[in-house]
Structures are given as C-alpha cells and as structure tokens.
Amino acid sequence: MRVLFLYTSTNMCRDGNLWYYDEATAVVVSCLRTVGHTVHFRTVDDRDTYEDIAGWVASHAGERTLLVFMTSLMFSAFGHDLPDTFERVSPLKKTFGFPMAFVGVHATLNPDRAIAYEGIDFIGRGEMEEALVEFCDTLEAGGRMKDIRNFWVKENGTVHRNPLRPLVERLDRLPFPARDLLPTARMANERDHILTVVASRGCPMTCNFCSNPVLRDLYQGKGKYFRLKRVEYLFAEIRAALEADKGIRAIFFQDDVFCLSPGWTRDFLARYPEEVGLPWGCNLLARQASPAFTTALRRSGCRQVQVGIESGSPHLRNVVLNKGISNREIQQVIDACRKADLFVTFYAMTGLPGETRSHLVESIRNLARYRPDMIQIQMWEALEGSGLQESDPATGKDSPVHGPPVRNRRAWRDRFFFR
C-alpha cells in the first residue's frame, strides 16, 4: 500500500525553510518500508497552498493509498496552528477519497479535537512503530479496522476509541531510521553536515509546558517510559549513517536529555572516540553538569552542550514552568562547561503566562550575566493537553489556546512593544 505522509510540526520554522530531525517519524517510516509498504514523505508549511499539497498527493498516490497527516511523534513543548493547516489538508479527502489518518503528539494529547477535524477518519495515539504497521497491513488486506490499538476510528458516525498498546520495550529491535526519506537539505543540523542521532526515548522531568509528563502518565502501566538503545546498536546506526553520507563532520545527540543512565554513559564515553571519533554535542539537564562530568564529556569528544534554562527569571522558571533549577545551578553549569572548554547554549522562552515587562527585563539581565556562548530564545505557545495554558485575562482562569499561534506572538508584541 502507498502511505503518503504530510508532516507539519513546530519542529519546523514558520517560514518552512528549516526542519529538525524527528527520530520517531524516521523510524516509523522505516518500519513501514521494511514490511513492504511504499512510503512518501512531504513537509507542509506556511507557504504551501492547497494546490501544492494536492499536486504532490496526485503525483505520488496509487490505487491503494493512505494519507497520514502528522505532527511530531517525539516530545513537543509547543502548540501548533493546526486549524490553519487543516484548512489546506482536509479538502484532500473530498478530492481524492483516500482514507486519512492524523497521528503525532498533538493527536495523542487531544484526541477528541483531533478526531473531529474534517476529513479525518482515524487518529493514531502514542508510539506508532507497531501500530501503524498493523494499521496499514489491515487496511491493505481489507480487514477489520475498528479494534486496532492506539487508533480511534470514525465509522458511521461512531468513534471507536481503542486503548494504547505497551511501549516499545527494546528500541534496538527497531530498524534504523529512514533518514534518506527526510528533507535533509532543509534540516538545521544536516544541512551543516551534522548528523542528528537519538539514543533514548522519554524524559523523567516534570516541566509543565512539555508533552513528556503527560505522555508518561498516559503510558502508566504500559512499560518503562525511559528507554535506551544499546551502545553497540547506537554505534552501528551511526556507522551506517556515516557510510551513507561521507560529508558528515559532527554528531548531535538530540535525546531530550542525554547521558541519564550512569552505566550506559560510562560505556558510551569510553568507546565513542574509537568507535566514531567525530566531535559531538548533546542536551543536558542543569543538574548533570558537574565539573567531573563535563570533563569526561570533553575527553570523549563532546564540544557543545545545550541546557533548557527556559527563563532567567526564577519565578517564571520554577513557579510558572516547574523547571526546578536554581540560580546557583545555572552558574554551576557555566563554571563546569568553562572548565571543560565546552560551548554552552541555553534554551529560553518568552511570552509565558503571567510574564510582565519586569520579568522579561530580569530574565534578559540574568541570562546575560551568566554569559553562555549562545541563547536560543523561542516564543512559548501553549501545547493543548499539557500542564501549562494561557490565562484568560477576563476570568484569570487557564484557557487552552486554540487557533493560529500568531495570536500569541501578537499578544506578546502588544504587551512589550506597543503600549
């Protein structure tokens, strides 16, 4: 069967020119291809018209085709302008008559909203490797669709809500990601010849703006939420990717948090220089960055670490976002990275609920005082279904943000620049 993926995500910049590697998507696509389905993959961004999208579908569709509209299958910390994107995607159903599924974090967290979108026949929730393969096999064989776990199925006005299957227990039983199907020329790391790799799934932290705590709750009793690939498997995956692209000159480990397991970390750090040897970077928690640890990273070839500080204001960081990072810990990150000669980037956000002009000034002052090598700032957008939503100024109550995120950006500009 032909499976046409239409991918839209906050992992992609608004102008559509920049895209970030999405490991789970690359693995799902690989699983489908491994069992014999034909897969085509396209990103959908703000610049795409309905005619662009329909033209692509027409040129890739076959007699038996499934359209899969998706957002990131990995973690997300941001909402999305889904209603806007759906306006350009849902007419595909009428034009082509193909079955259409919606999968990803946003469908997982908000299934009632997702299944209600016009043109959508199915939604897929949670991990899709086994679920989407079973789904496509059953659809192709003309089998019974309404009982497939992880899927909600719209049928004659009724919605069948199936439970989630257990989490994939062994990540290294999955095929290597199908990087060749992704738009690498537009991907932030890959276009700079940096290979993005992910060694684990899950995060134990409780930041309330992120999908991870919600997904962890959703999967209670369905297996270990944090899982790691074996070090041998990871090196084999990297070697295969380096073989396919001889131009790669560095690696970025895009795990939500890298090196969470001490035994795995010791093994990885000891073997990496010999097995791979390229300079590398990763995401860390502030609390991981002790001088001994950053020195061990550096010895193994690490050059850069990225840490989610989120705000220089302790109130926004810890009361609003539940990050649990003190000013002292931030200073320790800086000191440990300086000592080990690591380039350090802070992730930060603005436009947060309750953020005032003085919070913003405090945040900028503090972040500047720490002097990281780089600060990557993003506008916060409420991820519907996560623990953090925007307060309704009229009632003071939290209200999920629906609709295009431009509303947030405009609100932010109004708050700080135009009054």
Which residue number, 111 or 308, has a Cβ lying nearer to ligand SF4?
A: 308
Q: Looking up tokens 């990281």, which residue turns up? A: 372
- One of 75, 233, 343, 370 touching ligand SF4 (CB under 6 A): 75
Nearer Cβ to ligand SF4 (89/210) = 210
User: Minimum CB separation from ligand SF4 for residue 359, in Å?
Assistant: 19
Edge-first strand listing for the sheet containing 374-379: 194-197, 250-253, 280-284, 302-310, 343-350, 374-379
Cβ distance to ligand SF4 smaller for residue 162 or 318: 318
Question: Which position has the token pair 């953020």?
Answer: 355
CB of 4 to ligand SF4, least distance (A): 30
* Contact indicator for 404, 82 with CB cutoff of 8 Å: no
Cα separation, 144 vs 291, in Å, equals 57
Backbone angles phi, psi at 236, to 5 degrees: -65, -40
CB atoms inside a 10 Å sphere around CB 245? 13
Q: Which is nearer to ligand SF4, 237 or 256 (CB)?
A: 256
Does residue 276 interact with ligand SF4 by CB under 6 A?
no
Minimum separation from the CB atom of position 308 to ligand SF4 (A): 5
Stretch 342-381: interaction string toward ligand SF4, x if CB under 6 A: ----------------------------------------
Judged by CB, which is closer to ligand SF4: 65, or 212? Answer: 212
Contact of 381 with 78, CB cutoff 8 Å:
yes
Footprint on residues 303-322 left by ligand SF4 (CB under 6 A):
308
Q: How many residues bind ligand SF4 (CB under 6 A)?
A: 10
Query: Nearer Cβ to ligand SF4, position 256 or 390?
Result: 256
Closest contact distance (angstroms) between CB of 249 and ligand SF4 is: 27
Minimum distance from CB of 15 to ligand SF4 (Å)?
A: 25
Residues of this chain, 175-214, that bind ligand SF4 according to CB under 6 A: 203, 205, 207, 210, 212
Restricted to residues 211-230, the positions that interact with ligand SF4 (CB under 6 A) are 212
Distance of CA 255 to the CA centre of its chain: 10
Q: Which of 6, 12, 26, 77 binds ligand SF4 (CB under 6 A)?
A: 77
Cβ atoms within 10 Å of 88's Cβ, excluding its own: 19
* Shortest CB 105 distance to ligand SF4, Å: 11
**Which parts of 31-50 interact with ligand SF4 (CB under 6 A)?**
none
The DSSP secondary structure of 126-151, one letter per residue, reads S--HHHHHHHHHHHHTT---TT-TTE
The four Cα atoms 296, 299, 300, 305 give a dihedral, to 10 degrees, of 70
Q: Exposed (0-12), middle (13-18) or buried (19+): which is 217, by Cβ within 10 Å?
A: exposed
Output phi, psi for 307, to 5 deg.
-130, 130
d(CA 29, CA 27): 5
Among 127, 129, 190, 256, binds ligand SF4 (CB under 6 A): 256
What lies within 8 Å, CB to CB, of 42 at 6+ separation is 4, 5, 6, 7, 53, 56
Q: Which is nearer to ligand SF4, 54 or 218 (CB)?
A: 218
Rounded distance, CA 33 to CA 409, Å? 39
Partners of 97 in beta bridges: none
Which is closer to ligand SF4, CB of 204 or CB of 403? 204
Compute the least distance from the CB of residue 75 to ligand SF4, in Å: 5
Complete DSSP assignment for 183-225:
-GGGBTTGGGTEEEE--EE------TTSHHHHHHHHTTTSS-S
Q: Kindly report the backbone phi and psi dihedral angles of residue 58, in degrees, each rounded to the nearest multiple of 5, phi listed first.
A: -60, -40
Cβ 325 to ligand SF4 shortest distance, Å? 10
Shortest distance (Å) from residue 207 CB to ligand SF4: 3
- Of 75 and 96, the one with the shorter C-beta distance to ligand SF4 is 75
For residues 38 and 332, which CB has a smaller minimum distance to ligand SF4 in the complex?
Answer: 332
Least separation in angstroms between CB 93 and ligand SF4? 34
Please state the closest distance from residue 43 (CB atom) to ligand SF4, in A.
23
Residue 352 and residue 358: Cα distance in Å, rounded?
13
| 237 neighbors 179 (Cβ within 8 angstroms) | no
The smaller minimum CB distance to ligand SF4, of residues 119 and 324, is found at: 324
Residues near ligand SF4 (CB under 6 A) are 75, 77, 203, 205, 207, 210, 212, 256-257, 308
